[in-house]
RNA sequence: GACCCCUUCGUCUAACGGUUAGGACACAUCCCUUUCACGGAUGCGAUGCGAGUUCGAUUCUCGCAGGGGUCGCCA
């Protein structure tokens, strides 16, 4: 039985990989993995005018990024290809002939071919919504083929699902109202329809269907914003499904063990970028220093978008690229990222937190100058620190702490009074990593040089 | 307009017909703390409305309202 389970994701390459589409793909993938079935990718590119190579690439890369591997598809091949609808014209022609033989179609004056609806009530047994009944239709007959010989979505979709032996069709609820047309077609072909399951829609924060303009609409935007795929995968699982796990965290392995289509919700869900980012922060923090370094470097290598350079995301990515990580040793960068990883939620947000680790000519914040002038003994304290640190024989976090504590005692101030001064010297900023960690990463030389620099500026 | 789906805190959601209606994100306050965070604690906050069934309704039924979707020679 489970041998025969075959589901498919059938996007059209007319835009980007939409987050709603990705979620549909995700649920199909989970169903296939859960039941040992096949997950098939089919490109619905019958509308020549609207297809783009860019969109095609976004689909392949987006699915791979999310870890939704296809068992059959344009890139993987398979026994039921070709997997581009644009290459299946002969199959459609053959099916059209079958339909002509049944007398269920007729040709209009301009050459378009229409399908005669049976005009009887049709029940959709839906795995998510239950039985949905549509009364005998009064709509005009449906067009199947354009005068130029190309075919319409409803026709090719049904033909391909038959030909590719698709057992279950899980798609957005926006298709529910059209499904009776598909069932009518299956019956006309004398074929049993697959099992359907209509998944609730993904809504934008204002409550309407996610569209291209909405934040987070395309999967590419997550990649460029520095999201970790596991976080996006996890978040998508949570919209429309509640895995019966301890918390809300779930891996693709776990999800594909326990996914149950009958647990899919019936109501639409609004997309919450804040929660998605929270999950991302969680997943980034779970990475060890090497994994984090690898991840951030990978993000830094992404191409800047050529079309939307003015977005907040691309500005952050640009900043990350200005770090010139290729000139930085992984030992330094991994320690730097590690030191602030609980302060950011996206990989692209690291730059302002770590840039001073990689270059000496950072700017001093205005806020820092203001605070420094409010500390009368700043210069003398820094001079004392400089003296002791310069003479340090071992340079590690423990010893650094000891030295700072000693200087504080000598100067009759709390160690806490010295920390901001050191932070200002080393980073030019009022916020940042733990001071002793900063000093340790920078090393003795750079640390003392930077303190000297601030003393000079003060005098 | 016709048809279809849906309706629990701001958002995502949990709750055999019996719970002080639970959790997560967000928000607020406090603790921790050299900063920012992280972490911990507390707080704020919901069953759309109206009938009915029932000893008892978030849960079942109907009506209404609201939201979403579909009615293409787009997919």
How does pLDDT run across A230-266, given as a tens digit for each residue?
999 999 999 999 998 888 999 999 999 999 999 999 9
CA distance linking residue A341 with residue A358, whole number of Å: 17
Q: What is the pLDDT of residue A374?
A: 79
A208 has pLDDT over 90:
no
* Segment holding A51, helix H or strand E: none
- Contact between A110 and A147 under an 8 Å Cβ cutoff? The reply is yes
Q: Which residue is nearest to nucleotide B13 (CA to C1')?
A: A242
The confidence score (pLDDT) of residue A265 equals: 95
Mean pLDDT computed over A264-269:
94
- Best CA proximity match to A164, nearest among A269, A68, A41, A24: A41
**Which pLDDT score, from 0 to 100, does residue A308 have?**
54
Point out the nucleotide closest to A353 (alpha carbon to C1′).
B36
pTM for this model (two decimals) = 0.93
Handedness of CA A136, A139, A140, A143 (dihedral sign): negative
Nucleotide of closest approach to A46 (CA, C1')? B75
User: Which of the nucleotides in strand B have any atom less than 7 Å away from a protein CB atom?
Assistant: 3-8, 10-14, 23-26, 33-38, 67-75
3-class DSSP assignment, residue A399:
helix
Instruction: List the A282 CA – B15 C1' distance (angstroms).
Output: 28
- Asked if residue A170 has pLDDT above 90, the reply is yes
Element (H, E) at A114: strand A113-115
What's the whole-number average pLDDT of chain A?
92
Structural contact between residues A252 and A230, judged by C-beta atoms closer than 8 angstroms: yes
The CA–C1' separation of A192 and B37, in angstroms, is: 58
- Given a cut of 50, whether residue A1 has pLDDT beyond it is no
**Distance (Å) of CA A223 to CA A58, A300, A348:** 11, 11, 10
Q: Which CA-bearing residue is nearest the C1' of B26?
A: A274
ipTM surpassing 0.90: yes
Find the nucleotide nearest A278 (Cα to C1′): B25
DSSP β-ladder status, A130-134 and A142-145:
unpaired
Residues A382-433 have pLDDT tens digits of 999 999 999 888 899 999 999 999 999 898 888 888 999 999 999 999 899 9
> How many whole angstroms separate alpha carbon A81 and alpha carbon A85?
9
Phi-psi region of A432 (alpha: psi -120 to 50; beta: other; left: phi over 0): left
Instruction: Quickly give A275 CA vs B35 C1' distance in Å.
Output: 25
| Percent of chain A surpassing pLDDT 70 | 98
**Residue A309: per-residue pLDDT:** 56
Asked if the model's pLDDT at residue A283 lies above 90, the reply is yes
The set of residues, in sequence order, having a beta carbon less than 8 Å from that of A56 and lying 6+ positions away, is A13, A43, A45
Q: Which nucleotide is nearest to A157 (CA to C1')?
A: B75
Q: Both tokens of residue A40? A: 């098939």
Tens digit of each residue's pLDDT (9 = 90 or more) over A211-227? 877 888 899 999 999 99
């Amino acid at each position: 039985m489970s041998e025969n389970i075959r589901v498919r994701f059938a996007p059209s390459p007319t835009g980007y990989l939409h987050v709603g589409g990705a979620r549909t793909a995700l649920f199909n993938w989970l169903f296939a993995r859960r039941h040992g079935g096949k997950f098939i990718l089919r490109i619905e590119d019958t509308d020549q005018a609207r297809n783009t190579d860019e969109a095609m690439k976004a689909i392949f890369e987006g699915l791979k990024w999310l870890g939704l591997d296809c068992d059959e598809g344009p890139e993987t091949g398979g026994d039921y290809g070709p997997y581009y609808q644009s290459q299946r014209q002969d199959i459609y022609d053959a099916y059209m002939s079958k339909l002509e033989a049944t007398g269920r179609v007729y040709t209009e004056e301009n050459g378009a071919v229409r399908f005669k609806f049976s005009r009887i009530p049709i029940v959709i047994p839906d795995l998510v919504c239950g039985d949905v009944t549509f009364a005998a239709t009064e709509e005009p007959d449906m067009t199947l083929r354009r005068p130029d010989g190309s075919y319409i979505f409803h026709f090719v979709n049904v033909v391909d699902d038959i030909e590719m032996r698709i057992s279950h069709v899980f798609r957005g609820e926006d298709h529910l109202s059209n499904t009776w047309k598909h069932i009518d077609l299956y019956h006309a072909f004398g074929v049993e329809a697959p099992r359907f399951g209509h998944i609730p829609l993904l809504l934008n924060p204002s409550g309407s269907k996610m569209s291209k303009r909405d934040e987070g609409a395309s999967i590419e935007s997550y990649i460029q914003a520095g999201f970790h795929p596991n976080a996006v995968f996890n978040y998508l699982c949570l919209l429309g499904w509640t895995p019966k796990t301890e918390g809300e965290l779930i891996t693709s392995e776990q999800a594909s063990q326990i996914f149950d289509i009958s647990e899919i919700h019936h109501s639409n869900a609004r997309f919450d970028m804040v929660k998605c980012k929270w999950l991302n922060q969680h997943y980034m923090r779970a990475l060890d220093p090497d994994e984090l370094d690898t991840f951030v470097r990978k993000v830094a290598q992404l191409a800047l978008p050529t079309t939307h350079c003015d977005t907040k995301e691309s500005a952050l990515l640009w900043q990350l690229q200005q770090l010139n990580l290729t000139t930085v040793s992984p030992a330094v960068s991994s320690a730097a990222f590690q030191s602030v990883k609980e302060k950011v939620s996206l990989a692209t947000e690291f730059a302002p937190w770590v840039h001073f680790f990689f270059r000496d000519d950072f700017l001093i914040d205005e806020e820092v100058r203001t605070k420094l002038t409010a500390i009368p003994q700043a210069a003398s304290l820094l001079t004392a620190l400089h003296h002791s640190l310069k003479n340090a024989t071992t340079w590690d976090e423990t010893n650094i702490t000891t030295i700072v504590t000693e200087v504080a005692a000598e100067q009759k101030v709390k160690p806490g009074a010295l920390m901001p001064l050191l932070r200002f010297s080393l980073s030019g900023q009022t916020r940042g990593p733990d001071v002793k960690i900063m000093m340790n990463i920078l090393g003795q030389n750079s640390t003392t040089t930077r303190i000297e620099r601030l003393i000079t500026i003060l005098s």
